[in-house]
Amino acid sequence: MKAEELKLAVAKDEKEIVESLRSMVRIKAIGPAYGGEGESNRAKYLLDLLSKLGFRFVEVHESADSGVPSGRRPNIIVRERGTGSKNIWVVTHMDTVPEGDIGAWRYPPYDPRIVKGKVYGRGVEDNGQELIASLFGLRALVKNGVIPECNIGLVFVADEEHGNVHGIEFLLKKGIFKKGDLVIAPDHGQQDGAAIAIVEKGIAWINIEVIVRQTHASTPHKGVNAFEAASRFLVAAVDGLRKQFPRSDPLFDPPTSTFQPTKCDANGPNVNTVPGRQQFAFDFRVLPNYKLDDIMAFLKRVAMEYETMTGAQFNVTFLSRADSAPKTSEDSEIVVRLSKSIQTVRGVKPHVFGIGGGTCATPFRREGIEAAVWSTIPETAHDANEYINIADLVADAQVYAILFAGKNVD
């Protein structure tokens, strides 16, 4: 079969592809951390869909979770054997974040509407489009008797929106994936479909607590102002970090590490008290060639200086950390294969880049497994009025079909 014929076979299924996405999104799949019941009902729909589409090799791996009514968080794996021994995995997730402010939606978030070539609904971009696209990309091969070049595994995981404990991490511990496998984690992308992410910055959320003696605002000399001490420390810390860790990497936008003060807690209900406690937080996105432990050590040195200067106590702690994983090489096999498929379908030459947020590729890279992050999306994930373009949904399915077929299509 020729590549153009395979692309046409996918395009002919457009109506079924779109309706499958809409049917899936109608089923809520919000995790218990956000007040939902998990992915079980959505997984049941997908298992039924897989059966109807003729997939025979389907597995369900369940992670125990007492926080959901079923007590289990399902992960679905669809396998199709290829002519070679290499394994290619596409890892998408079933769960979504809640809809947020329902009044901000033009259309019902769980009754997906088609409007001017777009599908609106919660989770259509994150991560419904790529789940359905990868599924119908593989289905085009099965339907038309094309054997994949590599062994293909489609993985629909749970719990991506809250840490991957019951999803990717659970499957990694079970030994589903191994070194030498190739992974696509399509949970991030850009609008032109030409960008492949190969590295992420490290992420540190850091809490600062300043504790001193509270006093009346008319007698500030009897205490120490926690708000003022915190403010002076904040400016010194951020200025110092930017000078101490100045490296730039053009793979990223912005190209430098970012050190941002973000959340600030209330320090009291009234105006006429010098506060004895002030708490705030930083969000740092750090280039891979810096260690988060070095960032923290620098902060603590500055904190000690300001303890001496102000008499306040500074408690500096990680709220959360995600050290940067090793970079996937620009000429790695998964990047090369994916780039060729994108160019075949979209007629554009892909480029690699790095991003400031964590992705589903990170756990794989930490295990020494090559992983690439790619999709074609309008970047509306988590927004009210989240939507995808139907043309992108179909084109991405074509990219997967060409990728899976590999040398087995002309």
Residue 115 is inside which H or E element, if any?
strand 113-115
Q: Known catalytic residue: 160?
A: yes
The amino acid occupying position 259 is F
Tokens of 347: 């007629």
Would you say the C-alpha torsion 38, 40, 42, 47 has a positive or negative sign?
Answer: positive
Spot the catalytic one: 99, 126, 160, 200.
160
Could you tell me if 143 and 17 are in contact, meaning their C-beta atoms sit under 8 angstroms apart?
no
What is the dihedral angle through the alpha carbons of 240, 245, 248, 251, rounded to the nearest 10 degrees?
A: -120
Looking at 26-101, list the stretches that DSSP marks H as alpha helix, in order from N- to C-terminal side.
40-52
The amino acid occupying position 139 is R
Please give the span between the terminal C-alpha atoms of the chain, in angstroms, as a whole number.
6
Spot the catalytic one: 95, 126, 370, 386.
95
Residue listed under structure tokens 């790619």: 374
Q: Known catalytic residue: 95?
A: yes
The strands making up 258-264's β-sheet, listed across from edge to edge, are 258-264, 277-286, 202-211, 313-322
Q: Please return the burial class of 193, using the count of CB atoms within 10 Å of its CB with bins 0-12, 13-18 and 19+.
A: buried
The amino acid occupying position 63 is S
Could you tell me if 72 and 40 are in contact, meaning their C-beta atoms sit under 8 angstroms apart?
yes
Helix (H/G/I), strand (E/B), else coil: 96 = strand
Q: Please return the burial class of 283, using the count of CB atoms within 10 Å of its CB with bins 0-12, 13-18 and 19+.
A: middle
Point out which residues pair with 182 in neighbouring strands.
88, 370
Residue listed under structure tokens 């070539």: 117
Q: Which residues are catalytic?
A: 95, 160
